[in-house]
Structure 1
Amino acid sequence: VIQLGFVPATAYLFNHFSIAAFFLNIPVIILAGYIIPLGILLIFLSYVGGFLFDFLAFFTELLLQIMIYINTLIGQLAFSSINVISPSFSVLFLSYTILFFLSSEVFWISVRRRSYRRIIRVILFFIVIATFIPLIMYEDLVKPDIVFVDVGQGDCMHIRTPSGKNVLIDGGGKTDYDVGKNILMPYLLKNKVPKIDLALVTHLHDDHYRGIASLCNLMTVEKLGIYEANRLKQDDILQETGLDLDNLVYLNKGDRIKVDDDVWIDVIYPPSYSKEEYKEILNEDENEYSLIMKVYFKDISILNTGDLGFEGEEKIIEMYYDYKDNILKADILKVGHHGSRYSTSDIFLDIVKPKVAVIQVGNNNFGHPHTDVIDKLEKRDIMVFRNDLGRCNFNAY
């Protein structure tokens, strides 16, 4: 019963449900029933010593080793624990009120008197109250929004649509730290995200791709979108992500992804090339061939530039120079390459004309974001948000 009482709180605070705990309780309680009194007895016998002390100490240590072995054995089973999304306050309220009621004297008196209607009325009363909690606590509702997730020195953009679909653009990552397990997974579970409908990776550098690759092994990712040049790395990608070939989507300029009624994503760069040219691209600086995507989220438009630098910006400007409509114009600009001094040129800013700029940056030795970039943005009265200074999220509803 005590273990059952911990389940809702553990799920809410740690997004974790231990199935093994229910099986472990019985042997652990039995063993603890011997270990605790033996431990107390050994305290007093330690002043005397002798054979009896040595024997009981050996026996107590043996029981402890058995307990640890059982715990380790069951804990290693695949089904020993599962990750769960944070339950709502309604579920927490309902769980604990019903649990307390079932443990109360009122419940057992009602059972003895066979007053089952009374029991049902009380439980229905709790259910009615629980249904009104989301109306009182608005934050308990899942809201459509765009969040630039703080993954340290890396990029990650989370889009939640009005119908509840979830899209990630990049996922940060490091070689010596599992961002997918330690940052993305807890963030998504805490925000009630059971799966990722679409993950898009601008390019395969660690600080954009490795977190997504890790997440694919931890959570259901329906589709993974990457630049077409990465067909040449297909086997490595499938091995790293654990996905099937059907889960991969190859993208290039001109592709449109319809996510929801008011949400879609246009790929505006890079274009398609030959296989030989793709080999050259992957051997060069992948930053300049980042997937550049324009996100339309109801009345908001966001231009995500990956790690694009001056060279890539010039190519895009030249590519769309003769277009009647300014395709590059956006309300929000995800600044290229974490605010590097070699990205975000004056002419690029004048064409995009953003009202808001987001710089995804963490502790680094590269001087990101560079003061030149900040000066360019402030000179144009563009509002700047930085992940190293706080959370960045936008709501169009």
Structure 2
Amino acid sequence: MIRDLRLVPVALATWATALAVVLWPPIAGTAAVVVWCAAGALLVAAFLTRRGVLALAAVACAAAAVAASGVWLALPARATVAEALDGPVRDLVVHVTTKVEPTIGGVRFSGSATIDGATATIAVRLTGDAPDGLDLGARVTITGGGKPADAGEPAVATIFARSADVVERPPHVFGVASALRRGFVDDVVRGLPDPGGGLLPGLSVGETSAVSDELDAQMKASSLSHLTAVSGSNCSLVVGLAYAGCALCRLGRRTRIAVAGIVLAGFVVLVTPEASVIRAAAMSAIAMFALLLGRRGAGTAVLALAVTALIAADPWLATSFGFLLSAAATGALLLLAEPLARGLGRWIPRALALGIAVPLAAQLVCGPIIVLFAPEVALYGVVANMIAGPAAPIATVLGLLACLAQPIPPLALGAAAIAWLPAAWVAQTAATFAALPAARLGWGEGWLGFLLLALVGASCVVVICRVRPVWFRKACGGALALIVGAGAGSVALAGVAGPLTAPRGWSIALCDVGQGDAVLLRSAGRTAVVDTGPDAAAFERCLARLGVDEIDLAFLTHFDADHVTGVPALEGRARTIIHGPVSEQGDLDEARAVTSDVREGFAGHSGVLGDARWRILWPRAGSRAFEPGNDTSLVIHISGPDLPSTLLLGDLGEDAQQLLASASELGPVDVVKVSHHGSRDQSPALYAAISPRIALIGVGENDYGHPHPDLLATLARSGAAVARSDTDGLALVSIGSGDLTLWREHPPSAASARGARTPHNRRACDPRGAQRSRPPPRPKRRHGSRRALRRARRPRVPPPTESLRLRSTPTRAHRG
């Protein structure tokens, strides 16, 4: 085992040096000279002392020096091309060297460009559809605008192209591979049902152009996206089949290896040379070379040698996440899969233990790397890979056969039809696990998230593999149990247990979505939402916690971001959307993506929600008194036997509120959704007219002073109990037996402990809802023991409560 790991330090030294000089190019020359000198000195020392360790160190320094020298020599050409492409670009000839992949609104690819005799790699983002013939190996002319790339990027510049013309189609073998890929997608799998039909080219030849955005997201959420990235397993299958075919024909070992090598090279061209493909092909080539020499290459040594050779040849691979993930996953399978299988084998059958160990090893090593650019963890990735993994090789082999057999249509179509079944199995597995609660568990960002998840993975390995000493294993097990328990609790609260943490008989809910509005109304089992807040994820959490899966009616009062950013959370839930005036038609794009029933609302519109009746009071149809925005927000009144009389004021300012009061017969209401997050721009006369019993303020951390003390004072004069989402969190209003109940996620006492500073929050609330501004009287110094006197001096603090019951009594100043 130790002998197998001897080349790992060589690979790590080469990778570290390449990463340093690529990220900081000015040090490349110095680093190259220093490392070459170190390699020479170590080689002389190894020759004199006959020590293998010094020879290995000399090899490591030599490989690192090659990488540093490559960067140093490439710097002048890269600088020339980057400077020339900083600005408008016209008729630039680019030789395409990568796969052409679809992106939002166009395609992207990389290629080499030559300017003033200097050649360097550039990235191209083309707007619109790709021209016919644009593929690996083609030569195109592009026109657009260029921008130099940051240090560490393989491409020296990015060209945002407006047009691209194919000058030369992919030649010879590249043209054949391009025709096979295009024909496979356009002809062979076109008639197969989705999503299995679109996924099949990705599983077999890495062609993901037919994979829908929805399926792509599901594959990532279930940690199955690696199946569409051609890697070592695909190369091993192809090489193994070629070698076995030659063996059946009784060909010699050298012929078998030569044929397998040719087949491997053709496969790389067919699937395009991405980072993971290059790594897998290099490992296969090294393994076949070792076989040619009559030696058995250890997997770890082959991986280390492949990584060393590839990074020395192309130092910019050191910054490629794809290359890093591919190498890390392979190393995990070689080093961790067997120990994990032995550890799990103590509790479960050997076959099942090995089936769990393989995806578990890959996820434990790759998870921290993924967190660096996508701070989330695929919670069900191991199980999803266990279920989908066996189907992937079948789809790969049959799909590859269907792709290569296109000149014989019956064979190609038959193989594709059979391969569709395992491809559909993989797609359905991804969809099933992506739909489970907390399929993507949020995680810390950056290096802190990386280290934390790496520690979790290391703890798993220590516990499963029974690493000694025992106290260390127990400590890791305790930390792991604590983390898993906390994670399971978070998942449960975000899923099925969420509705259990709040009262179930609510009629009105004020969601805590930050500086914005999101209010839910419910009557007779029907639910409406008024605005969706500035954060779709926060709105989703509120809906999940309240157990809301269907929304019968959604009101979008106006189109400010703090009211409509969460509209995508309505997809699959909302049936009808009623919106306020729009300034441009693009405002409705997200709403129309949710439902086809999108209507504009004006004063006079009305309808029912369960047993309650709603009506729009503002704005007037055709009025031009205000531009679309805050002052044209929909103002909605709703009431019913199981829903308190409620007025929702949107973001109306004082002038619009005064016009509303003069145009509508507004009487006392039970609940008001305060306008504009409690800003100062309010009409005290309006609040005096409606005399609310409860005032809801959707507000978060802000620099505007919301809610303003003047508004809070106005509400206090009207006798309203105030619930604000920044200090109270989720607030629920329910009605029963003529009583209103206000439930706060954070009771007033807790809100005070959290640092609420407004005069309203410094006041205590008695159980009857009356604001008590005077502290209780101090006890008189009379008789009694010293202990009793100290007890009497303690301030009387009302017990924490999560509900505030408001009863109609003759003593109330407002409505009885």
Question: When the two structures are superposed, what TM-score results if normalisation uses the length of structure 2?
Answer: 0.31
Residues 338 and 369 in structure 1, CA contact (< 8 A), matched pair in contact too: yes
**Structure 1 residues 309 and 348 mapped into 2: Cα distance closer, same or farther (>3 Å)?**
same
Q: Which residue matches 2:680?
A: 341
Counterpart-to-counterpart distance in 2, 1:207 and 1:138: 28
Q: Which one of 186, 196, 207 corresponds to residue 562 of structure 2?
A: 207
Equivalent-residue separation in structure 1 for 2:687 and 2:502 (angstroms) = 38
Note the alpha carbon deviations across 1:195-232, whole angstroms, 9 max, x for none: 21111111110111111x22134x321111112x33x6
For 1:359 and 1:187, how far apart are their aligned partners in 2? 16
- The separation in 1 between residues aligned to 2:613 and 2:685, in whole angstroms, is 27
1:198–1:223: 8 Å Cα contact kept in structure 2? yes
Q: Are the aligned partners of 2:604 and 2:615 in contact in 1 as well (CA < 8 Å)?
A: yes
| 1:248 paired residue among 582, 598, 611 | 598
Q: Distance between the aligned counterparts of 1:60 and 1:310, measured in 2?
A: 61
- Cα 1:295–1:84 shift into 2, 3 Å: farther
Secondary structure, in 3 states, of the residue corresponding to 2:565? Answer: helix
Distance in 2 separating the partners of 1:337 and 1:60: 51
Quote the residue 1:195 is aligned against. 550
Q: State the partner residue of 1:221.
A: 574
Correspondent of 1:82 among 435, 442, 453: 435
Per the alignment, in what secondary structure is the counterpart of residue 338 of structure 1? helix
The AA in structure 1 aligned to 2:710 is D
Name the SS of the counterpart of 2:550 in structure 1: coil
One-letter code aligned to 1:226: H
Relative to structure 2, which stretch is displaced further, 182-191 or 331-340? 182-191
CA drift of 1:331 comes to 1.2
Q: What is the letter of the counterpart of residue 510 of structure 2?
A: F
Task: Give the Cα separation in 1 of the matches to 2:436 and 2:549.
Answer: 10
2:502 & 2:562 partners in 1: Cα distance?
Answer: 32
What one-letter code is carried by the residue in structure 1 that aligns with 2:704? F
Residue in 2 that maps onto 1:145 = 507
Whether contact under 8 Å (2:604, 2:617) holds in the other structure is yes
- What is the CA–CA distance in structure 1 between the aligned matches of 2:547 and 2:652, rounded to whole Å? 32
d(CA) in 1 for partners of 2:681 and 2:503? Answer: 42
- Residues 225-278 of structure 1 show CA distances to partners (whole Å, capped at 9, x for unaligned) of 112x33x6445413465134x3102211111120112x121111111006xx49
The 1:60/1:300 distance shift into structure 2, 3 A limit, reads: closer
Residue 330 of structure 1 aligns to which amino acid in structure 2? V
How much does 1:297 deviate? 3.7
Matched AA of 1:288: D
Correspondence for 1:268? 617
The one-character-per-residue Cα deviations of 1:28-64 (angstroms, maximum 9, x if unpaired) are xxx9xxxxxxxxxxxxxxxxxxx96951764985254
Q: Give the counterpart letter for 1:374 in structure 2.
A: L
How many residues were matched structurally? 280
Please list, as runs of the form range in 1=range in 2, the aligned pairs for 1:88-99 lying within 5 A after superposition: none
Offset at residue 351 of structure 1 (A): 1.1
What is the DSSP-based 3-state SS (H/G/I as helix, E as strand, rest coil) of the residue aligned with 1:378? helix
> In the aligned structure 1, how far is the partner of 2:328 from the partner of 2:619?
68
1:321-354 residue CA offsets vs partner (Å, 9 max, x unmatched): xxxxx434311111111111112x2211221111
C-alpha separation in 2, matches of 1:20 and 1:385: 40
Which residue does the alignment assign to 2:292?
none
- Residues 66-93 of structure 1, C-alpha deviations (whole Å, 9 max, x = no match): 94699799799555411559xxxxxxxx
Q: Which runs of 5+ in 2 are unaligned?
A: 1-217, 227-232, 234-296, 305-326, 334-358, 367-380, 389-425, 439-498, 737-816
Q: Deviations over 1:112-151 (max 9, x none)?
A: xxxxxxxxxxxxxxxxxxxxxxxxx998995352111111
Deviation at 1:376, TM superposition (A): 1.5
Question: Residue 62 of structure 1 aligns to which amino acid in structure 2?
Answer: T
Match of 1:257 among 607, 618, 621: 607
Say if 2:531 is the partner of 1:170: yes
User: Within 1, Cα distance between the matches of 2:506 and 2:619?
Assistant: 29
Deviation at 1:381, TM superposition (A): 2.3
Structure 1 residues 148 and 297, CA, compared in 2 at 3 Å: closer, same or farther? farther
In structure 2, the residue corresponding to 1:296 is in which secondary structure?
strand
- Output the amino acid matched with 1:310: E
Contact 1:150/1:360, CA 8 A, preserved across alignment: yes
Match of 1:316 among 660, 663, 667: 660
| TM-score scaled by length of structure 1 | 0.61
Q: Structure 1 unaligned runs (5+)? A: 1-15, 25-30, 32-50, 86-136, 174-178, 321-325
User: Counterpart amino acid of 2:630?
Assistant: N
Quick check: which has more Rg, 1 or 2?
A: 2
Q: Distance in 2 between matches of 1:201 and 1:78?
A: 31
Q: 1:238 aligns with which of 585, 589, 594?
A: 589
CA contact (8 A) 1:151 1:172 kept: yes
Contact persistence 1:304–1:333 (CA under 8 A):
yes
Note the alpha carbon deviations across 1:301-335, whole angstroms, 9 max, x for none: 11110111101111112213xxxxx4343111111
Q: Per the alignment, do residues 139 and 370 of structure 1 end up closer, same or farther by CA in structure 2, a change over 3 Å counting?
A: closer
Asked whether 1:389 is paired with 2:727, we answer yes
**Residues 1:223 and 1:382: Cα distance change in structure 2 (over 3 Å):** same
User: Could you tell me which amino acid in structure 1 is paired with residue 544 of structure 2?
Assistant: L
**Following the alignment from structure 1 to structure 2, what is the Cα–Cα distance between the partners of residues 328 and 209?**
29
Deviation readout 1:137-171 (Å, 9 max, x if unpaired): 99899535211111111011112223x22211011
Q: Distance in 2 between matches of 1:249 and 1:385?
A: 31
Between the aligned partners of 1:335 and 1:159, the Cα distance in structure 2 is 15
Counterparts of 2:681 and 2:539, CA distance in 1: 29
Structure 1 pair 60–306 and aligned structure 2 pair: CA distance change class (3 A) = closer
Q: Does 1:307 align with 2:643?
A: no
Residue 264 of structure 1 aligns to a residue in which SS?
A: strand
Task: Please report the RMSD computed on the Cα atoms of aligned residues, expressed in angstroms.
Answer: 3.8
One-letter identity of the residue aligned with 1:335? V
* Cα distance in 2 for residues equivalent to 1:140 and 1:273: 42
- Structure 1 counterpart of 2:434, one-letter code: S
- 8 A contact 2:666–2:689 mirrored in 1: no
Q: Could you say which residue in structure 2 is the equivalent of 1:290?
A: 633
1:237 counterpart letter in structure 2: L
- Identity across matched positions, percent: 22
Q: Which of the pair has the greater relative contact order for Cα pairs under 8 Å at 6+ separation?
A: 1
Distance (whole Å) between structure 1 residues aligned to residue 329 and residue 710 of structure 2: 65
Amino acid of the residue matched to residue 281 of structure 1? E
Q: Aligned ranges for residues 12-91 of structure 1 at < 5 Å?
A: 20=222, 55=301, 58=304, 62=330, 64=332, 67=362, 77-83=430-436
- Asked if the contact 1:297–1:396 (Cα under 8 Å) also holds between the matched residues in 2, the reply is no
Alignment of 1:114-133 (within 5 A): none
The residue type paired with residue 301 of structure 2 is: F
Distance in 1 separating the partners of 2:710 and 2:502: 41
Asked whether the 8 Å contact 2:303–2:331 carries over to 1, the reply is: no
Q: Could you say if the C-alpha distance between residues 346 and 169 of structure 1 is closer, same or farther in structure 2, counting changes exceeding 3 Å?
A: same
8 Å contact from structure 2 (residues 506, 733) kept in 1 = no
Contact 2:552 2:576 in 1 (8 A): yes
2:704 to 349, 366, 384: 366
Deviation, structure 1 residue 20: 4.9
